[in-house]
Structures are given as C-alpha cells and as structure tokens.
Structure 1
Amino acid sequence: MTLSATFLGTSGAVPTVERNPSALHLRREGDAFLFDAGEGTQRQMMRYGTGFDVDAVFLTHVHGDHVLGLPGLVQTWDFNDRDRPLDVYTPRGTGDQIRDLVTAVGATPSFRLDVHEVAAGETVLDREAYGIETFRTEHRTRSVGYALVEDDRKGRFDRERAEELGVPVGPKFSKLHAGTPVELDDGTVVEPEQVVGDPRPGRTVVYTGDTRPIDAVATAAAGADLLVHDATFADDDAERARQTAHSTAGEAGRLAREAGVERLALTHISSRYGGNVGALKADAAAEHDGETLLAHDGLTIDVPYR
C-alpha cells in the first residue's frame, strides 16, 4: 500500500528561487491530499508530477504563504471540468476568510466546495483503514496540525501452523485471518490466535505547519514514521524563532527524538539562509537519533511499513 509525501513548497514566508511557499502533497494508494497551498502550488504540482486528483485540502492556518495558491488551484480545477466535490479544512474561526479568498475574483466554482472549520483533537477524515486527525500547534494565529494515522493491520497468518493443525487450504484460512474460529471435519475448533500473529502497526505521517515545539506536537508525533516539522531558523536564531512563534531545526530534532520519530523532515526554511542550509540539518541531526532530512522542493519520501 503506497504512502508517499511530495514537498511542493519548503520556504518560509518569503519564497526563494529554489523554494516555493508551503505545500505538501500526500498520496495513500488512490487517495491524494494537499496540506497547505502557498502561492504557485498548482505549478509545482505540474512540475513534480503529483497529478491534480486531490480529494481534500488541509490548511494549518490562514497566513498568505500557506493559502494564496488555493484560488488559482480551484480555478484550474474548474477550467478542467472537475465535478467531484472538494473539502477544504481550516482552523476554527477562519472559514469565512477561506470562502472569501476562493471567490475573491468574483467567480464561484462549478463544483461543490465545502469549507470545514476544525479544532485540535478531532478526526476530520475517517476512511477505511486510516484517518486524518488534528492536533494543537502554537503559532501567531489560529492554527492546527494534521496527522494521517493508519489502523493496525492484521497479524501475519501462519500457513504452516494452520496446515499442521489440519486446516484445509481454502476459505477456512481467510476466516481465521479475519478473526473467526473454524471447525474441522473431526470437530476440532481452531482459534484465530493459534495461527495469526499480533496486529502490526500501520503508518503515521505528521505535518505541523508553523509552530513552536510544544508538547501537543510531540504527543501527536509519538512513534510517527514521518514527521514534517517547522524548522524556520538555525539554532543561533533561537530568539527570533520564539518571537515569531516558529521552531529552530535543533528544537525540531529534539522533539523528534523525544517522540520516537522514525524520520524527520525539516521544512519552512527561512530565506535568510539562501543556499547555506547545512547548519539547519546539522542542528537537527545533533538532536535526533533517527534519519533527518532537509526537505527541498520536489523531494518525494516513500513511507514503508516498519
């Protein structure tokens, strides 16, 4: 089951030649989602081949570098005769701003566009085998983060053990794997736990948007396979990070370590660093025991099962 994240924009508030404003495309098999939509997101989608078949858009907060790409993207969907409804999720109290933004040039899309206000601690999308949940972040405005969390998978089926117990190859295998006991011809009952291992964890991808490194983020990221975290500043600009309610790379790394994150991807990189971003990765890697990546536009990360 494919799960991959493509970075469409990794800059801070001011874009650079190499970095577009914030946007992350997440694909889980046939489902596709967009987290934030900074200016130029639709062109980045074309450039990096994500496709336009987005099921829903999740906005972390209503600052320009996270939402100004939405009107153009909606208009392009309209030009391309989209007929599927689009759900847009935005922090509570910001729904009217998003509705006004989408229709700012006087056009209403021909497809249904529903704006949903969300708060931290909600499951905002509930689908078979996974959901998308919100968590609290700390920025200078109403904000939330999002986590795609898969359900646990069934344990592995021990075919060899089943055959040893006399279970014939066929439908009884499927029943046992689904958790239903089966009766053999001699009256023996075989229980699922005799041939099925412990449930295996699904995958978790966490996207913070802009935030300070707070406990609520660490809780949401606990054991995550991929954490995409604000790393606007290097550690020697920690005071500036506090003033602007962002995180340093080192703070992101420390949070990832404390949360037991498998992989950390740093994003929302301030333009003040230009091409000299090595210090940010070094700051984070010094804190985080797992893999640390400095995200760049066009980077795609595949998230495997552990």
Structure 2
Amino acid sequence: MELEFLGTGAGVPSKQRNVTSIALKLLDERNAIWLFDCGEGTQQQILETTLRPRKIEKIFITHLHGDHIFGLPGLLSSRSFQGGDTALEIYGPKGIKEFVQTSLNVSDSHLKYPLSFIEITEPGLIFEDASFKVFCERLDHRIACFGFRVEEADLQGELQVEKLKALNIPSGPIYKKIKDGERVTLTDGRIINGKDFIGQPIKGRIVAILGDTRLHPNCYTLAQNADVLVHESTFNKSEAKMAKNYFHSTTAQAANVAKEANVKKLLLTHISSRYLGRAVHELQKEAQEIFKESRVVQDFECVPIPLKK
C-alpha cells in the first residue's frame, strides 16, 4: 500500500504544484489503484509516473470544485484509448454523474469499459468487500464536500517457521497447507493443526483522505487512529481568519486533528501557491511544532504505508 501525490496545489495549477489528485496504490493488495480527486492535468501527471490508468478501479471525488474534477473527462477517455476494459466506479457528491456524462456526450467520447456512479447522499459506509471498507463523512466547505476513510481488514498472521523447524517438520508444499490452517498428517504419523502455527493477526491499515474543509468534528472522526492522515493545509496559522472565510484549514488546525485523533503520520497537501521555497518549510515547521510526524508533500512524492508487525 502506497500513496502517490499527483497534485498538491490549491485552486489553480502552478509551476511547482498541480491541482489535487492522489493515487492510493493497492497493487500488492488487489492489483488496483484508487484515485482520490482528479484535478485538471492529472493524466499529464500520470505520464511522469509508473501508474497505469487501466489499473484505476475506483475514483473518489471529495467535491465538485473544478480543481478536483476538471481532469476526469480526459482521464476516463484516455483510459479507454489505452486499452482499459475493466469496470470503473466513481464515488462522489450528487452532480458528479451529470458532469462526467455531459462532458463525454458533448465531446462524442465513447468508453470501452463499464462506468458506474455511486452518488453520495448520506455519510457512512459506501464500499465494503472482504479486504476493505470505505467510509465517508461530510466536511465544512462552500459546497457539499466529503472526507474518506479507508480501512483494511486484518490480515492473517505469519507462519511460525521456527516453531515448525523445532518439530523437525521440513519445508515444502506442506507449509502452505499449514499456513492455510489445515490439519495435516505428517509422514511419521503425527497430526498437527495448522492454526497452531500461525501468529497473531496483523492489524489492517487505515488511511484518511480529507477534502477541502474548515476545522470540523468529522475531521477527527475520519482520522481516528489512522496510519496516515492526508489533510488540506491551504494557509499558515497566521491566516486562520482567511482560512475560515474561504472554508479551508491551516497547518496548525490539521496538526491538532492529527494529534487529538492519535494519527501516526500527517501529510499536508492542497498548498496555496502563495507559499514557495522557504515558506513551505515554515508551513511544515508550524505543523511539526504541534505534531512531530507532519510533512508537507510535493507532487510525485510516494509515501509507503507498511503493515504493522
């Protein structure tokens, strides 16, 4: 599991930062990519990475402001041109279906894969399978906006190889049966229960990705005990009044959410183009004074999310 930031800027593209898009790479977990927001130029950003559009399985849209959705029609069309033929789902506020379908219809664009829309009308669980759950909550922005929480199911514990070797059980195909928890009869007649040789379950990871928002109680709800929190940080702490007026957050507010919600790592994004060079380091410093494990991310930065062992 890994996050790759395709755009980390706010409002409009700049030479330093493109507008918002984040790829959650689940290549080991399900050979797929989940995209969060798709600002203008996202497919151009993808060309600078190893990401393959055909592997994008789901796209989660936080809200319908242009810097979060204007890249969608082009990306969806290119995915079709490049041989993508597997189904794709788009989750987002009411209106995302109309926006995409109108763009495709007016431009006479035809997709070669099934495209479906899940328009969010109520917060809560919006996706679940055996491996993952995705929850959403409303945030406080000028238009309907959501934050997402991705929870991975706990994973099977590791095979206790040393314990098997201590019983003189040689490695080989039998190890797979043991790892699968089967009862196995050894060549010497001993019967062992595979479940006795599996370690404790490995706790699944939690990733919280918030859309644009003022400080709001749901920020804490989404972030609770997350391994990684991606939080907008459009303004520095001295511009808290401006942040409130424009329905955004400051570095200090994001850091306090991370601290109070017991987050392990805070990644700050959606940075205003007014902050360049040293000013970006000051943003990071402000956050780190409150929550040490804070970082302002850059375009194309990759952040692995390791399993907890």
Question: Please, what TM-score do these two structures have when normalized by structure 2?
Answer: 0.86
The answer to which of 244-253 and 272-281 deviates more is 272-281
Once the two structures are TM-superposed, the CA of residue 260 in structure 1 deviates from its matched residue by 1.6
- Alignment of 1:14 with 2:12, yes or no, is yes
In structure 2, relative to structure 1, the CA distance for the partners of 1:86 and 1:20 (3 Å cut) is same
Q: Secondary structure at the match of 2:290?
A: coil
Q: Quick one: which of 11, 20, 27 aligns to 2:25? A: 27
Aligned residues of 1:226 and 1:262 also touching (Cα < 8 A): yes
Aligned residues of 1:154 and 1:177 also touching (Cα < 8 A): no
Q: Secondary structure at the match of 1:286?
A: helix
Q: Secondary structure at the match of 1:138?
A: coil
The answer to which of 79-88 and 52-61 deviates more is 79-88
| Partner Cα separation in structure 2 for residue 233 and residue 102 of structure 1 | 35
- Correspondence list, 1:27-66, <5 A: 27-29=25-27, 30-53=31-54, 54-66=56-68
What's the counterpart of residue 258 of structure 2?
256
Q: Quick one: which of 79, 86, 89 aligns to 2:88? A: 86
In structure 2, relative to structure 1, the CA distance for the partners of 1:164 and 1:125 (3 Å cut) is same
Aligned residues: percent identity? 34
In structure 2, relative to structure 1, the CA distance for the partners of 1:101 and 1:158 (3 Å cut) is same
What's the counterpart of residue 271 of structure 1?
273
What's the counterpart of residue 281 of structure 1?
284
In structure 2, relative to structure 1, the CA distance for the partners of 1:166 and 1:51 (3 Å cut) is closer
Q: Deviations over 1:115-163 (max 9, x none)?
A: 221242123253x423333233222211212233211112233334456
What's the counterpart of residue 130 of structure 1?
132
In structure 2, relative to structure 1, the CA distance for the partners of 1:80 and 1:175 (3 Å cut) is closer
| Partner Cα separation in structure 1 for residue 6 and residue 162 of structure 2 | 47
Amino acid at match of 1:285: Q
Q: Quick one: which of 241, 249, 253 aligns to 1:239? A: 241
Q: Secondary structure at the match of 2:144?
A: coil
In structure 2, relative to structure 1, the CA distance for the partners of 1:190 and 1:50 (3 Å cut) is closer
| Partner Cα separation in structure 1 for residue 5 and residue 36 of structure 2 | 10
| Partner Cα separation in structure 2 for residue 27 and residue 41 of structure 1 | 15
What's the counterpart of residue 228 of structure 2?
226
In structure 2, relative to structure 1, the CA distance for the partners of 1:111 and 1:177 (3 Å cut) is closer
Once the two structures are TM-superposed, the CA of residue 21 in structure 1 deviates from its matched residue by 0.7
Q: Secondary structure at the match of 1:95?
A: helix
Once the two structures are TM-superposed, the CA of residue 23 in structure 1 deviates from its matched residue by 0.5
Question: Please, what TM-score do these two structures have when normalized by structure 1?
Answer: 0.87
| Partner Cα separation in structure 2 for residue 278 and residue 201 of structure 1 | 33
In structure 2, relative to structure 1, the CA distance for the partners of 1:117 and 1:160 (3 Å cut) is same
